[in-house]
Chains A and B, each alone.
Chain A
Amino acid sequence: MSVVDRWPEGRVGPGVSLHDCRPARRRVWRNRRNTVLIVLATLFVLITVGMILVYIVLKGIQTMNWEFLTSSQPFSLRRSGGGFLNGLIGTAIMVGVAAVVSVPLGILGAVYLVEYGKGNWLAKLIRFFADVMTGVPSIFVGLFVYTAMVVNFGFSALMGAVALAIIMMPIVLRSTEEMLKLVPSELKDASYGLGAAKWQTVTKVIIPSAAPGITTGVMLAIARAAGETAPLLLTALGSIQLTAKLWGEPIQALSLAIFDGARNPFAAGQARAWAGALELIIIILVLTVLARVITSRSRLSR
């Protein structure tokens, strides 16, 4: 494929035309102007990142204390004091259950794509629709769980976990697939050469050697699920009670508690929302940073 035929008639090279040689000063000026614009765009994004983090820390730290971490919400958004312990527990339960369900399913699905389905139509179909599923709005997942299950069983932690699992599974599947592809075929051949069956090769050789990468994908999926709000509105509903029940009653999540504080006009509730945001962002950043550390330690690389 030649690059040269892409240029229109009369042009001999990139940016240089025989018919249209712009004065050098204008070319230099244009170069400078665009460099400045590109640098400004970058600065703008960096400033935004900085402003988000600084405000969360500054505003969150004012309300963050031992009481906030260890007690539940007061009965009214107007009242100060209390904390988001009920939300923290709800998030932990729902994300935990969702991970326990979606991670094995996602990993096995990826094993099918890479080791069994290799390039057949079913594997292509699954890969394509897994991609489609990662693009489905999370609120639609909430609507689905509502119409399929909540109408019959009521709001509960389990419903929230189902919604989060549906969001997490395609993420785990696609990231695991990318990692399994990187396992060198020599390793598999060596395993087969020793007489191992395919399932033994998969569980004892392929998955262990891709484990760091798989863990990274799993942690990113967990970080994503921990911050989800919209699907939980329709499945877990939210509650100011401290509960750890999987079934039978609505449950709070950190994200739901923050949303509640943000959309109501009471200063005490808003202050708690900022502290909750600090708590949530710390959890998510720890997961994300851990995921990065594990990736950089991994011996399989692109």
Chain B
Amino acid sequence: MQSAVNSSAPAPPVGGGRPSPGPGAWRRTGVGRWADPLFAILAALCGVLVLLVLAYMVISTTGTALPVFRSQGISFVTSTDWDPNQGQFGALAFIYGTIVTSAIALIIAVPLSIGVALFSTEYAPKRVRGLLTYAVDLLAAVPSVIYGLWGVFVLLPLFLQPVADFLAKYLGWIPIFKGPASGLSYFGAGIILAIMITPIITALTREVLATVPTADRHAAFALGATRWEMIRAAVLPRSRAGIVGATMLGLGRALGETIAVALLVGSVAKVDASVVRPGYSMAAVIANTFSEATGEHIRALVGIGVVLFVMTVIINMAARAIVWRFNRI
């Protein structure tokens, strides 16, 4: 550690033999006098840049979408009537699709992630834990477009379509599984989203579980608890807030996911109670139709983006607040 510093730290320009001019005195002369405050200002500007960019993002997009917000009013988010040729822009079908696909993703990903995180902190030997962490990180590194490609050409024929058919055939009397079933549906997009957000929720949950003191675990075992009882009584109660935070960060990611959903959601702009039928999502409609849109249609798509932004920011802020509070305890 020290040697690294000696090699890289500058030798101070102290005059040979003369008495030292006192701490810091040498830099108050010449150009050096300005270097320090300038550097401080430069660093502060780079930090403030984050705020400026974020503010400009909100202003620029909202400004573009404003005419559509004005002309549509509240029906922009309450109407399902989306007809760009007639100037009708009701985005409810897309908002509904985003919420439904994200909900499906959470229902599947949260138990799965907690299971994997528990396995790696409470069950796995050290070497297996490292391997598992590596595999989960790998899953997190795969880009959205590759999930989409894999989802359409591998998961769809192998899993999504058969399962959707099965659900419609045997549970079709329940409205949410009513057929005719398609793998390209809320359900299909929800499954691919679940696979995509599992690594995020797992990684955060694992960190939270790791903060539970070992003494608590030993205390539970000493009282005769089985391993599961130990988890129920010592590990989960302490981690609850952290797991909720991790879930909400996963939800934030699921809401904004674009490409994989665009390929798997089925691209039909209507509100359908059945999850095994095709629908649409906010991010997907922007990605799929932006290139052929003109005029008001573009403004409406930007407006959908603004609504999506507001939704994800609220979810993310709440998640950060929960995680921060958890960290302070």
Chain A interface (Cβ < 8 Å from any Cβ of B): 1, 3, 6, 13-16, 27-28, 30-31, 34-35, 37-42, 44-46, 48-49, 51-53, 55-56, 59, 104-106, 108-109, 111-113, 115-117, 122-123, 125-126, 128-133, 135-141, 143-144, 146-148, 166, 169-170, 173, 184, 187, 190-191, 194-200, 202, 204-205, 208-209, 223, 226-230, 233-234, 237, 255, 258-259, 261-263, 270, 273-274, 277, 280-281, 284-285, 288, 299
Contacts and interface: CB of A to CB of B under 8 A. Distances in A.
B258 A230 contact: yes
B268 interface: no
B136 interface: yes
A14 B233 contact: yes
B24 interface: yes
Contacts of A228: 143-144
A31 B1 CA distance: 48
A59 B152 CA distance: 13
Given A37-B115, A199-B36, A288 B141 contact: yes
Contacts of A106: 46
From DSSP, what is the main secondary structure of chain A's interface residues? helix
Given A45-B198, A205-B5, A137 B255 contact: yes
B138 interface: yes
Contact of B195 (A39, A48, A255, A281): A48
Contact of B220 (A14, A51, A173): A14
B216 A133 contact: no
Interface residues of B, number: 110
Interface of B: 1, 4-5, 8-12, 14, 23-24, 26-27, 32, 35-36, 38-40, 42-44, 46-51, 53-54, 56-57, 60-61, 63-64, 111-112, 114-116, 118-120, 123, 132, 135-139, 141-150, 152-154, 195, 198, 202, 216, 219-220, 223-234, 237, 249, 252-253, 255-259, 262-263, 283, 286-287, 290-291, 301-302, 305, 308-309, 312-313, 315-317, 320, 329
A27 B112 CA distance: 23
Contacts of B255: 137
B316 A132 contact: yes
